A and B are shown apart, each in its own frame.
Chain A
Amino acid sequence: MAELTYRDAVARAIAQEMERDPNVVLLGEDVAKAGGVFKATVGLYEKFGPKRVKDTPISEQAFMGAAMGAAMTGLIPIVDLMFADFAAVCWDFFANEFPKSRYMTNGQVKCPLVIRLANGSARFGAQHCQSVENWCMMIPGLKVVVPSSPVDVVGLLAASVRDPDPVIFLEHKSLYAVKGEVPDGEIIDTIGTAKTLRPGKDATILALALMVPRALAAAERLKAESGIDCEVIDLRSLLPLDTRTILESVSRTGRLFTVEENPRLCGWGAEVVSIVADEAFYDLDGPPVRITTPHIPLPPAELEDLLIPSVDRIVETVRRTMSA
């Protein structure tokens, strides 16, 4: 057992998979000698060399396309896109190319690759801190994985590399420095499985990435201050979505809260609430409540903190709702 940061967990997972399979390659801007803009690929260039760990020019379309062409023909590329917001300059690949190739060719073409994005808030402002998980969730053919802890980074990134479909792997910028226990040896997790991190009987709180530790902290306070016992579930992936775990929990607690970092409209919580309304309506004791960032661009620096769901806001919202 070792204590690893979330960023070191990224490098650990990539090393584990590159050691296992010589067809796994890593590419992106500054990933090789510089070890990544977020220092999440430190040591990989030294370990695996310039043939397998490759710096690219600032050509997001070129290296997304190159990853796809390589994936179609036999390699397993891991691409580092740096800031998630940059997905917009190569969105063609996310929306039209990776997810459609297998379908359009009636199964002839495969696209086993992993695109790593540094997602979410970190005080850089409107063009460097968006939460783009809902952009990705809308597209049939993609898988969307969103880890919240170092151990999940290792297991889910390894699973993503081994997955035969294109996986969008959303790392959270503000979690890179967070530490956690990670067992020694090979770790391989399962995509599409949510994890119940805190059992509870009064309400279900669903969260992703940075919102997970906040939801957990809020649950502790709600219990201590108000006696409200919340179940906290880390969804871990949006595509596929573990609706079984969600529905089972909501059917027991009768209450649903989603904590979403994305701007409000079309956030993943909206889809979850619609599923729950369809399939567990009569188990609900009150309306589901979405706690989200407002539907505005994000300002930089500490102004950001006023908008992203905080522990205080989660506590207040749950308390107010439950006592209404």
Chain B
Amino acid sequence: MSKKTPAVDIAEATRLEMYRSQYRLREAEQRAFDLFLQNLVKGTSHLSLGQEAIAAGFATAMKPGDLTFCTYRGHAHTLARGVSVEKVLGELMSRDNGLMRGKGGSMHLTSVEHGVMGSYAIIGAHLCIACGSAWRAQYQGAQDVTTCFFGDGTTNIGAFHEALNFAVIWKLPVVFVCENNLYMEYTPIKDVTAVPQPAADRASAYGLERILIDGNDADVVYQTAQKAYARARAGEGPSLIECLTYRHSGHSRADPAKYRPEGELEEWKKSDPVKTYRARLLSAGVKASVLDAIEQEVKKEVDAAEVACKAAPPPPADLMFTDVYADGGCAWRN
């Protein structure tokens, strides 16, 4: 992995878009945590604080129509595809204005109209499901690419290995993205994995290139994503990309992350993706006022979302009995 800043040939407008995206994910996640502290998020939630560059970099490299599959740690990936903060926070708060009107919750954010095909909470399954989405594209001669995000811990379940082999033998247009944040829930990934790099070191077993990148650098993420998407669209098959990153918060909302060695968080905060990207744009000549304006716009969206969600009613009780079956209802007998 190269830590040095790449010679960037990314358009300034694209980089500003990635800054906006990262800043927005940061603000939205922080607000989600605030709302939890106010006891307004009663279900579980898993934040991506510190991992924003991956979601922003990939989503910016995607084209409309490309499909995203992510995990229960999926707020960032959902927002990065353009879903409103209000819909995400509303879902976390079990309000009628939520993305699924409260029926899915934080772990299952889905917005088909934005290409977000679901957030999956059983480790491993969605790598297989993403294969199917990519197979459909190949079958129908469509140009869309499927991206599947998952954690380091996911590389030790059988479904990960089945999906990789499957995607390779069928040459599917799918990009597997491992967000290696060094921990599964509370156990360090290095304590439970046969190889140092849980995804990258497995690539060769499936005849894939070993790709290990700095997941806190949106430019690197974006350029790596572009390459993988070009390969997929050219019919050359899947890619497996391991992105090194770190989550700033605990595994889930109530986890104080006491298991982390002292100083580790502070060390990783030096490469906080949002802050380092801001500094990079400034040193590349972007005016502070431009970035300030982006930040103000984002804050406005998040503030308005909070107000709207606090005012929104809960879903009607009978909504819970809808959409078990395609007829819209839940009848299992006549």
Chain A interface (Cβ < 8 Å from any Cβ of B): 25, 51, 56-57, 59, 61-75, 77, 92-93, 96-97, 101-110, 112, 140-141, 143, 163-165, 192, 239-244, 275
Footprint of A on B, CB under 8 Å? 67, 69, 99-101, 103-105, 108, 110-112, 117-118, 120, 122, 124-137, 139-140, 146, 158-159, 162-163, 165-166, 169, 319, 322-326, 328, 330-334
A43 to B53 CA separation, bound complex (whole angstroms) = 51
Knowing A70-B136, A240-B331, A240-B334, say if A96 contacts B324 (CB, 8 Å): no
Q: Check if A70 sits within 8 Å of B332, measured CB to CB.
A: no
| Apart from the given pairs A72-B118, A105-B103, 5 other A-B contacts in the complex at a CB distance below 8 Å | A68-B128, A69-B133, A73-B67, A97-B122, A105-B100
Which residues of chain B come closer than 8 Å to A92, judged between CB atoms?
Answer: 122, 124-125, 159
Q: Are A69 and B159 in contact (CB under 8 A)?
A: no
Partner of B166, one of A59, A140, A240, A242: A59
A69 adjacent to B139 (CB under 8 Å): no
26 contacts between A and B (CB under 8 A): A51-B139, A56-B166, A59-B162, A61-B128, A62-B131, A65-B128, A67-B132, A69-B132, A69-B146, A73-B137, A75-B135, A92-B125, A97-B122, A104-B103, A104-B105, A105-B103, A105-B110, A106-B99, A107-B323, A108-B111, A109-B117, A112-B326, A164-B326, A243-B333, A244-B334, A275-B333
From B127, B129, B140, B324, contact of A74 by CB (8 A)? B140
Contact of A97 among B129, B322, B334 (CB under 8 A): B129
Closest 9 pairs between A and B when the two form their complex, measured CB to CB: A65-B128, A69-B132, A164-B326, A62-B162, A66-B132, A59-B162, A106-B100, A70-B132, A69-B133
Chain A residues with CB under 8 A of B135: 66, 69-70, 75
* Inter-subunit contact A64/B333 (CB<8 Å): no
Cβ-defined contact, B166 with A57, below 8 A: yes
Q: Tell me which residues across on chain B come within 8 A of A61, comparing CB atoms.
A: 124-125, 128, 158-159, 162-163
Instruction: Name, among A96, A106, A239, A241, the residue most crowded by chain B CB atoms within 10 Å (CB to CB).
Output: A106
Interface centre among A59, A71, A75, A105 (most CB of B within 10 A): A105
Expressed in whole angstroms, the Cα–Cα distance for A107 and B122 within the complex equals 20
A65's contact among B103, B110, B129, by CB below 8 Å, is which?
B129
Residue on A nearest B157 in the bound complex, by CB? A61
Which residues on the A side are within 8 Å of B118 (C-beta)?
72, 101, 104-105, 109
Cross-chain contact B124 with A71 (CB below 8 angstroms): no
Interfacial chain B residues near A102, Cβ < 8 Å? 323-326
User: How far apart are the CA atoms of A25 and B132 in the complex, in Å?
Assistant: 12
